[in-house]
Amino acid sequence: MIRTFLKDRLAMILFFYMNTGLLILAASLYMHISNEQINAPIAFYLLLLTSFFLIVWLAVDYLHQKTYLKKLHRLAHQKTIALDSSYELEAANPPSREAQAWLRLHKRAQEDIQREVERLEQAQKRHQMFINQWVHHMKTPVSVISLLIQEGKQTLTDKEWLDDISAENDRFRHGLELMLHLARLDHFSLDLKAELVDPAAIARELINEEKRQFIRRGIFPELDAEEAEPVASDSKWLRVVIAQLLHNALKYSPQKQQARIRFSFKKQHHQLEFSIADSGVGIPAKDLPRVFDPFFTGENGRRYQESTGMGLYLAQTIARELGHRLYLHSDPGKGTTATLVFSSKTLHQT
């Protein structure tokens, strides 16, 4: 901080000594004209005397600005600057009119930014509230449609068109759930409960819930849970991740061809790996590094209209927040394996 203070006044110090040197030179010329001489000790004494007054002035100036400079130096080296930092500087008593004018400008800018941030936060809250309410309202007709389909299957003879309606209704339901989970990501930490979770139990529940889709698509699930064990996670959010990976496997597996989706667990040292493997179209190598980017659909997205580009982004984001690791391995034309790695007994500890 002292070094910075002196650097700012370096030009003034150099000018001061240059001026002192010129005064000594002028005095020497005057003495020479008067047939007298100014000797070296006198010149050195004059230089020392002026240096003393310069040092005293610099010390007084530094002490006057020390509190303000220390506060400014601390704020400048913080990783993030609070929007009320101008009030901290104001409390340190700006030492000059220039500093006061700069501080007034800084306060005005911060107040404008604060008002804009508050406006955007309110707009985001209203938008999120609307999305949540809209999704919940849409869930009601989805449930009603499901009930009507079940009743229709019991009374009508031609049930093929009911299966088509049911498939579209499932797509609608999954889209609503995806939108709702994406809207809740901003408040992830407020809706997190660390607990021991059985991922095999979650997989069984999801397979049972989606049995209609397995039957309609002609796909068979296989669950190998011999090495499964409880892991530290959040059951609700982990369920969202596994459900999204399951929906992807169902969507991209060969339809009505007796294909299989394999759910398996494997212990690796202190880690538990949970994999969902399908035998579907696979992911081209050029697209694989970007599959977790938001809105990225890639080559498969052009072939399958169901792709939104947000499912894997949601799964990866939640897995990362939970302290788990998610990665994909894929062979085009042979299938894709999505693997979740649980690496500790403590949430967020890897």
Domain for residue 186, yes or no? no
Q: What pLDDT, on a 0 to 100 scale, did the predictor assign at position 5?
A: 65
Q: How far, rounded to the nearest angstrom, does the alpha carbon of residue 15 sit from its chain's CA centroid?
A: 51
Q: What pLDDT, on a 0 to 100 scale, did the predictor assign at position 350?
A: 43
Domain end call among 73, 96, 113: 113
Number of domains in the chain: 2
Q: Are residues 108 and 219 in the same domain?
A: no
DSSP 34-78: TT----HHHHHHHHHHHHHHHHHHHHHHHHHHHHHHHHHHHHHT-
Within a 10 A sphere around the Cβ of 319, how many other Cβ atoms?
24
Strand partners, 266: 273
Q: What pLDDT, on a 0 to 100 scale, did the predictor assign at position 315?
A: 93
Q: What is the mean pLDDT of the chain?
A: 81
- What CATH number is attached to the domain comprising 215? 3.30.565.10
Q: Are residues 108 and 220 in the same domain?
A: no
What does the pLDDT look like over 274-306, one tens digit per residue? Answer: 999 999 889 998 999 999 988 888 887 777 666
Q: Strand 219-224 relative to strand 259-268: parallel, antiparallel, unpaired? A: parallel
Of 285 and 176, the structure prediction assigns the larger pLDDT to 285
Which runs of E-coded beta strand occur in 199-300? Answer: 219-224, 231-233, 259-268, 271-277
Q: What pLDDT, on a 0 to 100 scale, did the predictor assign at position 89?
A: 72
Structure tokens at 40: 């070296």
Domain end call among 71, 90, 113: 113
| Phi and psi, residue 40, nearest 5° | -60, -45
Q: Are residues 201 and 107 in the same domain?
A: no
| Phi and psi, residue 186, nearest 5° | -65, -25
Q: Are residues 105 and 197 in the same domain?
A: no
Q: Are residues 197 and 328 in the same domain?
A: yes
Is the pLDDT assigned to residue 263 strictly greater than 60?
Answer: yes
Closest C-alpha among 323, 264, 274, 313 to residue 290: 313
Domain for residue 101, yes or no? yes
Domain for residue 152, yes or no? no
Closest C-alpha among 240, 249, 248 to residue 178: 240
What does the pLDDT look like over 81-91, one tens digit per residue? Answer: 666 677 667 66
Q: Are residues 205 and 324 in the same domain?
A: yes
Domain for residue 128, yes or no? no
What does the pLDDT look like over 219-228, one tens digit per residue? Answer: 999 999 998 8
Domain end call among 90, 113, 136: 113
Domain for residue 163, yes or no? no
Confidence of residue 35 (pLDDT cuts 50, 70, 90): low
Structure tokens at 27: 């005095």
Q: Are residues 312 and 209 in the same domain?
A: yes
Q: What pLDDT, on a 0 to 100 scale, did the predictor assign at position 202?
A: 95
Is the pLDDT assigned to residue 348 strictly greater than 70?
Answer: no
**Rounded percentage of the chain residues whose pLDDT exceeds 90:** 26
Strand partners, 233: 195
Domain for residue 286, yes or no? yes
The domain in which residue 47 lies consists of 2-113
C-alpha to C-alpha distances, 99 to 5, 12, 65, 95, nearest whole angstrom = 14, 19, 10, 7
Domain for residue 197, yes or no? yes
Q: Are residues 89 and 203 in the same domain?
A: no
Strand partners, 151: none
Domain for residue 153, yes or no? no
